[in-house]
């Protein structure tokens, strides 16, 4: 009986060791293989970065996009996230992400410094943090140097759009800048801002199909109104279902970032509905992880 008991204990231990993985080892659970649904921390700008990471994990999401300037934590209110933080704070942020089973995928919205040495520091920071994409609205004259850094550090630059009359509101402008450049330079399609500018998202997605790096996926209630606020996906004029169907046809692979800009103090219930809508639509298009 003693030997049999030891055998069962050994088997139970092996099962536990094989299933109780560390956060770094756990498999990501995206509904559509190749589509990574993540959270921008800007909607949680009234909270700390660590609180934003906790909220992302509570939504069941494994991907996050951070922005520069957010307070790090309630314990360190004088420290703000940015590419000039110390190596010790970088290590602390990495630990927090790993413990939460959340991976840092992109950094937005950051304006690359025109000073070349400072711009290099930005890319070195992104590389160290495991960031794949820097989302920006860079001055056109800086793109040659930025593209060289993208190639060197193996990090993509995604040009973002704000509503009309901002510099990159029209995708035609971004496409013209991308012409003749490598695929390290592309587009972060903010679909809600397109709707606010009077542009049809599906039409624009088709137009820039070869340059989409990531998306700030949104739905808004009014077409052509720059002041229209975000609403739950699938309930407005943003045609989120049509966007996903078109990207499915294009065989797009990349991150979809939730940047829900409304109800700042208590947006979690609405964001959760967005996650559910995305998972339902994406799961029907193609079963994933």
Q: With both helix axes pointing from N to C terminus, report the angle between 116-129 and 143-153 in degrees, rounded to the nearest 10.
A: 30
CA-CA distance, 286 to 289, in Å (whole number)? 10
Q: Which of 80, 186, 63 is nearest to 131 (CA)?
A: 63
CA-CA distance, 192 to 218, in Å (whole number)? 5
pLDDT grade, residue 158 (50/70/90)? very high
CA-CA distance, 135 to 145, in Å (whole number)? 16
pLDDT(1) > 90: no
pLDDT(15) > 80: no
Q: How many CB atoms lie within 10 A of CB 79?
A: 16
How much is the CA Rg of the chain, to the nearest whole Å?
21
pLDDT(98) > 80: yes
Q: Mean pLDDT for the chain?
A: 91
- All domains in the chain, ordered by first residue: 28-285 (3.20.20.150)
Q: Which of 134, 108, 98 is nearest to 39 (CA)?
A: 108
CA-CA distance, 142 to 137, in Å (whole number)? 11
pLDDT in tens, 271-288: 999 999 999 999 999 866
Does this model's pTM top 0.75? My answer is: yes
User: What is the mean pLDDT of the segment spanning 231-246?
Assistant: 98
pLDDT(4) > 80: no
pLDDT in tens, 102-145: 999 999 999 999 899 999 999 999 999 999 999 999 999 999 99
pLDDT of residue 286: 86
CA-CA distance, 22 to 24, in Å (whole number)? 5
pLDDT of residue 289: 55
pLDDT of residue 183: 97
């Amino acid at each position: 009986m003693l030997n049999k008991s030891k055998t069962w204990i050994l088997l139970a231990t092996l099962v536990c060791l094989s299933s109780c993985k560390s956060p770094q080892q756990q498999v990501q659970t995206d509904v559509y293989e190749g589509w990574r649904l993540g959270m921008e921390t800007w909607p949680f700008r009234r909270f700390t970065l660590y609180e934003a990471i906790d909220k992302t994990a509570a939504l069941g999401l494994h991907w996050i996009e951070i922005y520069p300037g957010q307070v790090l934590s309630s314990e360190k209110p004088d420290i703000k996230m940015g590419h000039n933080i110390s190596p010790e704070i970088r290590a602390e942020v990495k630990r927090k992400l790993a413990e939460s089973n959340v991976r840092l995928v992109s950094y937005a919205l950051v304006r690359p410094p025109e000073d070349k040495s400072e711009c290099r520091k930005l890319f070195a920071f992104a590389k160290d943090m495991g960031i794949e994409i820097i989302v920006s609205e860079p001055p056109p004259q800086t793109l040659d140097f930025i593209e060289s850094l993208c190639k060197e550090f193996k990090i993509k630059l995604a040009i973002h759009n704000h509503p009309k009359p901002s510099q990159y509101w029209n995708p035609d402008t971004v496409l013209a800048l991308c012409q003749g450049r490598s695929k390290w330079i592309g587009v972060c399609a903010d679909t809600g801002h397109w709707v606010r500018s009077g542009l049809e998202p599906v039409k624009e997605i088709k137009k820039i199909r070869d340059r989409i790096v990531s998306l700030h996926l949104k739905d808004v209630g009014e077409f052509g109104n720059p002041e229209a606020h975000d609403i739950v996906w699938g309930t407005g004029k943003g045609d989120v279902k049509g966007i996903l169907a078109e990207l499915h046809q294009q065989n797009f692979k990349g991150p979809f970032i939730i940047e829900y800009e409304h109800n700042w103090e208590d947006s979690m219930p609405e964001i959760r509905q967005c996650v559910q809508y995305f998972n339902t639509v994406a799961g029907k298009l193609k079963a994933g992880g």
